[in-house]
């Protein structure tokens, strides 16, 4: 079985869907964060796949974008975790069902 | 020189007027300067009056004028001015001299009063108004001063405003004289309408001079009678005399001023001033208007002397005596004795001021007791007051031969004897002489003789500030008799504009002995009746009904209360009802209509316009509620919605390409 673009895109879509479902269905803020990270990983996988099977695979443009993206994702995860901790300190919970202040 | 004096004649009333305003500006604690200013003003007026008086002595019938245009309305210039003639000059002398005595007396009499300065301001104002009235050469100017006199009398009669009776008396005086003034004013308008001028003497164009009198013709009678209405009101003639006794509520110097120098003299003076209007068209000096004047005078004189017999207030007796003397003067004017009337007015000014100031001194000595039943025996306690009072009394009764009142009264009796219409006034006036002697003896005996009854026990003679004016006035009224005797009737000739003659034989007249006998008889009879008076009056014991009738002033006040006043109150009541129910009802009906309209518009607003707005708002609120329900605050819901939205967009994209 030779690796094709479709295979990677299918895996990426599956990964994104699993992440989305996790982000939507879990009640714990940490799990939601993990779901979001999975969707980000699916996006990175798409970058790599489109580069590898694109017209100009010799230059490492896709990898560079993915590395940047992963760096940003790390920073974003740090911000997310900091937010979770701040929320926990404030509300004494990380259950997002009880965190319903974001409304007009 | 003479022109200079006439041109500056206005200074005589201006001096007291300026002083009056000056005193008003002073603080009420500066009592000494207020009195000094008032007396200084009066002295200045006296000096000026003397300066004006002297040139009039030189030529008989002297008359000097100063006329000018006051203002012009349309093409009609309104002229006023002042005149200096024997009538005005003699009055000026009397007013300033008597006024000065009263001013000095007031310093002592009012010494303890709180409103001392205000009193002197009013007194000066009163004097100024009267002096202006005397020099006026225009009926209009005279009327202005006339009303100022009325205002001043109102202020002074009601001077003790804290007493309700004083306030009522002031109001009564003002309103009663105003009733007469309505007639006076109508007369002025009528006169102006017929002659086009109100200036008395104007080199042939004045309203008292021939050209105007010819134009007046028969209307002069009515105009004269209308003017007499004003004079009757001011001079307390029947039936408008009712205010004069009540005016006793004022301080005694005010009574003296009103009864002697100012106010009541104004009416007699007015008739004398416009005398040509009264005599116009008469035969032998008899005209319908003068006949009315005579009879009013007779009624007034007799009625007042009778009432005076039954009064117990020392000042009220004098008030009624003033009314009767004014009646006598009116009779004199009416029968043609103008000079005699004015002579009696001047003599009366002196001795009535003397009597009132004497009464003031008695009241002051008896600690403000005015009831003669509570006095008695004052002749030793207040000797100066007693002696001067006797001088006043002998003047008033017409006691011969050294008292001016005797000569002037005799002159009037003489004039009435020659009236061609009827001799009744003559005999009635002779009866009046007896009555005068009677009530004055009664008063003197009550006050000064017998034993002390209550108030007089601790009486004391008044200070010299008060007795000095009494002595001066007593001297004046005795000295005045020199120029009033028939033997050398200088004043008579002076007023009539004739040269005076000296003729001792004129002293011997039957009339003189008749009146002397009547005076002696009256006084003797009075002494006999009242020889031992006590708390009750001898007349009251013998004739209780008559006495009560007289004591109640012939029920005239009650009569007015049930007629004129009741009518006025009825009219007021009807007007009140009309106002309250008719006009007010009309206003209320309109108000109701307005309210009804208001309710309609309010409902339209409420139900029509407001309802639409309310509906819109309710819709917006409902929409807002639905929208806000979607906004749950759940992060995962938001995320889900974003995902679904993105999916929808992807499907749409796929479907389109």
Residue A14 tokens, joined: 């599956």
Query: Pick from A20, A96, A104: which is nearest to B635 by CB?
Result: A96
Identify all chain B residues contacting A24, using CB atoms and an 8 Å cutoff.
636, 639-640, 643
Provide the pLDDT confidence category of residue B651 given band limits of 50, 70 and 90: very high
The nearest alpha carbon in chain A to B625 belongs to A104
Q: Decide if A97 and B632 are in contact by the 8 Å CB cutoff.
A: no
The two structure tokens encoding residue B360? 């003031």
- Judged against a pLDDT cut of 60, whether residue A104 lies above it is answered with no
Q: How confident is the model at residue B52 (pLDDT cuts 50, 70, 90)?
A: confident
Q: What's the predicted TM-score (pTM) here? A: 0.73
Mean residue pLDDT across chain A: 88
Does the beta-carbon distance from B634 to A100 stay under 8 Å? yes
Which of these ranges, A44-53, B107-116, B342-351, has the smallest mean pLDDT?
Answer: B107-116
For B640, nearest residue in chain A (alpha carbons)? A24
* Residues 6 or more apart in contact with residue B488 via CB below 8 angstroms: B482, B500, B501, B502, B503
Split at pLDDT 50, 70, 90, the class of B265 is confident
Which pLDDT score, from 0 to 100, does residue A78 have? 92
> Before B401, cis peptide (omega within 30)?
yes
Q: Are the beta carbons of B255 and B201 closer than 8 angstroms?
A: no
| Residue of chain B whose alpha carbon sits nearest to that of A20 | B643
Q: Token pair of A11, please?
A: 């895996």
Q: What is the mean pLDDT of residues B468-474?
A: 83
- Report the alpha-carbon distance of residue B278 to residue B585 in Å, rounded: 52
- Per-residue pLDDT tens for A10-30? 999 999 999 999 988 888 888
Q: Is B409 left (phi over 0), alpha (psi -120 to 50) or beta?
A: alpha
Look at B628 and A99 and tell me if their CB atoms are within 8 Å: no
Report, as an integer, the average pLDDT of B292-320: 86
With bands split at pLDDT 50, 70 and 90, how would you rate the model's confidence at B457?
Answer: low
B636 to A99: CB separation less than 8 angstroms, yes or no: no
Task: Strands of B7-63 (E only): list them.
Answer: none
| Chain A positions in Cβ-Cβ contact with residue B636 (cut-off 8 Å) | 23-25, 32, 96
pLDDT in tens, B148-177: 988 888 888 888 888 888 888 888 888 888
Query: How far apart are the CA of A59 and the nearest CA of chain B, in angstroms?
Result: 31
Q: How far is A68 from chain B (nearest CA, A)?
A: 25
Interface test with B, best of A13, A20, A27 (most B CBs within 10 A): A20
pLDDT of residue B637: 85
Q: Which of A28, A33, A35, A102 to mutate to test the interface with B (most CBs of B within 10 A)?
A: A102
DSSP-assigned letters across all residues of B166-219 = HHHHHHHHHHHHHHHHHHHHHHHHHHHHHHS--BS-STT-STTSHHHHHHHTTH
CA of A23: which chain B residue's CA is closest? B636
User: Where is pLDDT greater, at B130 or B414?
Assistant: B130
Question: Which are the contacts of B474, defined by CB distance < 8 A and separation ≥ 6?
Answer: B354, B387, B388, B391, B392
What's the number of CA atoms in the CB half-sphere (13 Å) around residue B302?
14
B589: pLDDT strictly greater than 80: yes
User: Taking 70 as the threshold, does the pLDDT of residue B534 lie above it?
Assistant: no
Of A23, A25, A97, the CB nearest to B634: A97
CA distance linking residue B498 with residue B22, whole number of Å: 42
**DSSP codes, B115-158:** THHHHHHHHHHHHHHHHHHHHB-BHHHHHHHHHHHHHHHHHHHT
Closest residue in chain A to residue B647, using alpha carbons only: A17
Q: Among A20, A100, A104, whose Cβ lies nearest the Cβ of B628?
A: A104
B643 touches A at CB < 8 Å: yes
Q: Where is average pLDDT lowest: B131-140, B309-318, B524-533, B626-635?
A: B524-533
Contacts of A9 in chain B (CB under 8 A): none
Would you state the pLDDT for residue B500?
Answer: 65
Task: Say if residues B132 and B141 touch (Cβ distance below 8 Å).
Answer: yes
pLDDT confidence tier of residue B430, bands split at 50, 70 and 90: confident
Chain A nearest CA to B594, separation (Å) = 50
* pLDDT of amino acid B502: 66
Q: pLDDT, tens digit, for every residue of B182-216?
A: 888 998 888 888 887 788 887 777 777 777 777 77
Report chain B residues whose CB lies below 8 A from the CB of A102: 633-635, 638
Place of tokens 């004795």: B337
pLDDT reading at B653 higher than 90: yes
- Contact at CB, B633 and A103, closer than 8 angstroms: yes
DSSP string, chain A: ----HHHHHHHHHHHHHHHHHHHHH--BHHHHHHHHHHHHHHHHHHHHHHHHTSS--SSTHHHHHHHHHHHHHHHHHHHHHHHHHHHHHHHS--BTTT------
Taking CA–CA distances from A26, the nearest residue in chain B reads B636
CB–CB contact A97 B640 (8 Å): no
Residues of A in contact with B632 (CB under 8 A): 100, 103
CB contact under 8 A, B634 and A96: yes
Say whether B643 and A20 touch across the interface (CB within 8 A).
yes
Report the mean per-residue pLDDT for chain B.
Answer: 82
> Does the CB of B650 have a partner CB in chain A at under 8 Å?
no
Among the partner residues A23, A24, A100, nearest to B633 by beta-carbon distance: A100
Residue B654 has pLDDT above 90, yes or no: yes
Q: Is A101 in contact with B633 (Cβ distance < 8 A)?
A: yes
Give the per-residue pLDDT at B546: 73
* Distance in Å, alpha carbon of B657 to nearest chain A alpha carbon: 19
- Determine contact: B632 vs chain A, CB below 8 A: yes
pLDDT in tens, B618-640: 999 999 888 888 777 788 888 88
Tokens 């029968």 locate to B335
Nearest to B635 among A25, A99, A104 (CB): A99
- pLDDT surpassing 70 at residue B487: no
When CB atoms are compared, the residue of B631, B633, B639 closest to A23 is B639
Q: Residue B505 has what pLDDT? A: 64
| pLDDT computed for residue B434 by the predictor | 84
Average pLDDT over residues B298-324: 86
Q: Which CATH class, in words, describes the domain spanning A5-102?
A: mainly alpha
**Are the C-beta atoms of residues B429 and B327 closer than 8 Å to each other?**
no
* Whether the predicted pLDDT of A103 surpasses 80: no
Binned at pLDDT 50, 70 and 90, residue A75 comes out as very high
Residue B635 at interface with chain A, using a CB cutoff of 8 Å: yes
B631 contact residues in A (CB cutoff 8 A) = 103-104
Q: CB contact, 8 Å: B634 with chain A?
A: yes
| Residue B647 or B1, more confident | B647
B625 and chain A: CB distance < 8 Å anywhere?
Answer: no
Q: Is the pLDDT of residue B556 over 80?
A: no
Return the pLDDT at B455.
63
Q: What are the Cα distances from residue B190, in Å, to B98, B184, B540?
A: 35, 10, 49
Question: How confident is the model over B301-324, as a mean pLDDT?
Answer: 85
pLDDT over 90 percentage in chain B: 6
* Bond prior to B629 in cis (omega within 30° of 0): no
Q: Is B657 on the interface with A (CB under 8 A)?
A: no
Q: Which residues of A touch B (CB under 8 A)?
A: 20, 23-25, 32, 96-97, 99-104
B327-362 confidence digits (pLDDT tens): 888 888 888 778 888 888 888 888 888 888 888 888
Q: What pLDDT shows up at residue B645?
A: 93
- Counting other chains too, the contacts that A48-57 makes at CB distance below 8 Å and 24 or more residues apart are A48/A8, A49/A5, A49/A8, A49/A9, A49/A12, A50/A5, A52/A8, A53/A4, A53/A5, A53/A8
Chain A residues with CB inside 8 Å of B650's CB?
Answer: none
User: Exposure of B371 by Cβ count < 10 A (0-12 exposed, 13-18 middle, 19+ buried)?
Assistant: middle
Q: B620 at the A interface (CB within 8 A)?
A: no
- CA of A30 vs chain B CAs: smallest distance (Å): 13
pLDDT at B290 over 80: yes
Please judge whether B638 and A102 are an interchain contact, meaning their C-beta atoms are less than 8 angstroms apart: yes
Is B124 within 8 Å of B20 (Cβ atoms)?
yes
The rounded distance, in Å, linking the Cα atoms of B578 and B583 is 6
């Amino acid at each position: 079985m030779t690796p094709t673009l479709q295979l990677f895109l299918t895996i990426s879509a599956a990964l994104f869907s699993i992440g989305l479902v996790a982000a939507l269905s879990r009640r714990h803020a940490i799990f939601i964060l993990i779901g979001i990270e999975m969707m980000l990983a699916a996006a990175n996988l798409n970058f790599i796949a489109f580069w590898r099977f694109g017209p100009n695979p010799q230059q490492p443009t896709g990898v560079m974008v993915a590395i940047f993206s992963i760096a940003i994702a790390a920073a974003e995860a740090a911000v997310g975790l900091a937010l979770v901790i701040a929320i926990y300190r404030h509300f004494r919970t990380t259950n997002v069902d009880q965190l319903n202040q974001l409304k007009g | 020189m003479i022109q200079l004096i006439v041109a500056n004649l206005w200074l005589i009333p201006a001096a007291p007027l300026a002083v009056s305003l000056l005193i008003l500006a002073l603080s009420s604690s500066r009592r000494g300067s207020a009195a000094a200013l008032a007396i200084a003003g009066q002295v200045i007026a006296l000096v000026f009056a003397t300066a004006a008086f002297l040139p009039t002595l030189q030529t008989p019938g002297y008359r000097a004028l100063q006329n000018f245009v006051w203002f012009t309305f349309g093409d009609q210039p309104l002229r006023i001015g002042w005149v200096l003639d024997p009538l005005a000059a003699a009055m000026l002398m009397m007013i300033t001299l008597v006024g000065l005595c009263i001013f000095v007396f007031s310093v002592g009499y009012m010494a303890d009063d709180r409103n001392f300065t205000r009193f002197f301001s009013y007194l000066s104002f009163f004097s100024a108004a009267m002096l202006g009235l005397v020099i006026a050469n225009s009926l209009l100017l005279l009327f202005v001063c006339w009303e100022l006199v009325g205002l001043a009398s109102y202020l002074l009669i009601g001077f003790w405003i804290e007493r309700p009776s004083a306030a009522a008396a002031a109001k009564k005086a003002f309103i009663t004289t105003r009733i007469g003034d309505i007639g006076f004013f109508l007369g002025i308008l009528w006169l102006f309408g017929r002659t086009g001028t109100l200036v008395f003497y104007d080199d042939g164009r004045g309203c008292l001079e021939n050209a105007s009198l010819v134009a007046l013709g028969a209307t002069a009678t009515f105009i004269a009678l209308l003017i007499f209405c004003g004079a009757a009101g001011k001079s307390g003639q029947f039936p408008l005399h009712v205010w004069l006794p009540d005016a006793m509520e004022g301080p005694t110097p005010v009574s003296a001023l009103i009864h002697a120098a100012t106010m009541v003299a104004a009416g007699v003076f007015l008739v004398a001033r416009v005398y040509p209007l009264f005599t116009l068209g008469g035969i032998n000096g008899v005209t319908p208007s003068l006949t009315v004047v005579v009879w009013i005078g007779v009624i007034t004189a007799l009625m007042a002397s009778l009432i005076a017999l039954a009064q117990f207030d020392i000042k009220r007796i004098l008030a009624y005596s003033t009314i009767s003397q004014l009646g006598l003067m009116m009779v004199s004017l009416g029968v043609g004795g103008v000079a005699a009337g004015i002579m009696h007015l001047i003599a009366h000014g002196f001795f009535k001021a003397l009597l009132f100031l004497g009464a003031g001194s008695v009241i002051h000595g008896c600690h403000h007791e005015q009831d003669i039943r509570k006095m008695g025996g004052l002749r030793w306690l207040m000797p100066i007051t007693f002696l001067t009072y006797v001088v006043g009394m002998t003047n008033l009764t017409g006691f011969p031969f050294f008292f001016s009142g005797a000569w002037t009264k005799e002159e009037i009796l003489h004039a009435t004897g020659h009236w061609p219409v009827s001799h009744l006034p003559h005999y009635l006036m002779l009866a009046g002489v007896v009555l005068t002697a009677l009530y004055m003896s009664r008063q003197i005996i009550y006050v000064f003789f017998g034993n002390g009854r209550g108030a007089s026990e601790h009486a004391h003679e008044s200070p010299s500030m008060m007795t000095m004016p009494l002595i001066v006035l007593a001297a004046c009224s005795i000295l005045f008799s020199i120029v009033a005797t028939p033997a050398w009737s200088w004043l008579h000739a002076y007023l009539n504009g004739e040269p005076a003659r000296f003729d001792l034989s004129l002293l011997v007249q039957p009339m003189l002995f008749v009146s002397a006998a009547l005076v002696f008889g009256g006084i003797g009879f009075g002494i006999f009746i009242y020889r031992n008076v006590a708390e009750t009056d001898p007349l009251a014991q013998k004739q209780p009904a008559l006495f009560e009738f007289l004591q109640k002033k012939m029920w005239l006040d009650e009569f007015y209360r049930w007629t004129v006043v009741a009518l006025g109150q009825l009219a007021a009541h009807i007007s009140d009802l009309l106002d309250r129910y008719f006009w007010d009802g009309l206003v209320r009906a309109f108000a109701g209509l307005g309210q009804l309209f208001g309710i309609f518009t309010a409902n339209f607003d409420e139900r029509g316009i407001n309802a639409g707005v309310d509906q819109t708002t309710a819709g917006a609120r409902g929409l807002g509620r639905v929208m806000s329900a979607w906004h749950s605050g759940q992060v995962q819901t938001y995320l889900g919605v974003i995902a679904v939205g993105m999916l929808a967009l992807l499907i749409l994209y796929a479907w389109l390409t």
